[in-house]
Amino acid sequence: MTSQKLVVHTDVFLDHLSGERSPSILRIAMSKCLCYTTVFQAIELFSFARTESEFRAVEDSMAAMKLLGLNPKNARKYGELLAAKRKTSDWNILIGGLCVESKLPMLTDRKKDFAGISGLQIVTTQTIVKKKLGRRE
């Protein structure tokens, strides 16, 4: 059995942290896939936290996954993405670029936020809930 690898985007973490869905998409994804996130999601999530318990909840939600960071050798590629002046925010260009460089799809329901990032694969939360990911038949 080969586990699928995914980068978890901020919307999936926020769904998990809100506690509105049980089990959360994050828990479902982690049970089926090897999950990663990026330094950008970590920064964004910590920017939302206001109390010590919220900071701990963010830390706990990321504890079981690897955190992807920028590699200086890819700076040129990120510069080219930013210079293209797409409608995508600079933040999302960096996130999407990191996924492309890592050759990992992103789990998110905000596909339109990443429009125009060539080579970026998006996995929706519907897909993770409905399909048996991580298994090769």
pTM: 0.85
Asked if 72 contacts 81 with a C-beta cutoff of 8 angstroms, the reply is no
Place of tokens 């995914």: 6
Per-residue pLDDT reduced to its tens digit, 108-133: 999 999 988 889 999 999 998 886 54
| Residue ranges with strand state E in 13-90 | 33-38, 66-68
What's the CA gap between 84 and 118, in Å, rounded?
A: 12
* Nearest in space to 35 (alpha carbons), one of 92, 105, 89, 135: 105
- Cα-to-chain-centroid distance, residue 65: 11
**Residues contacting residue 72 through CB under 8 Å, at least 6 positions apart:** none
Q: pLDDT per residue over 49-59, tens digit each?
A: 999 999 999 99
Q: What is the mean pLDDT of residues 86-110?
A: 89
* CB contact at 8 A, 40 and 95: yes
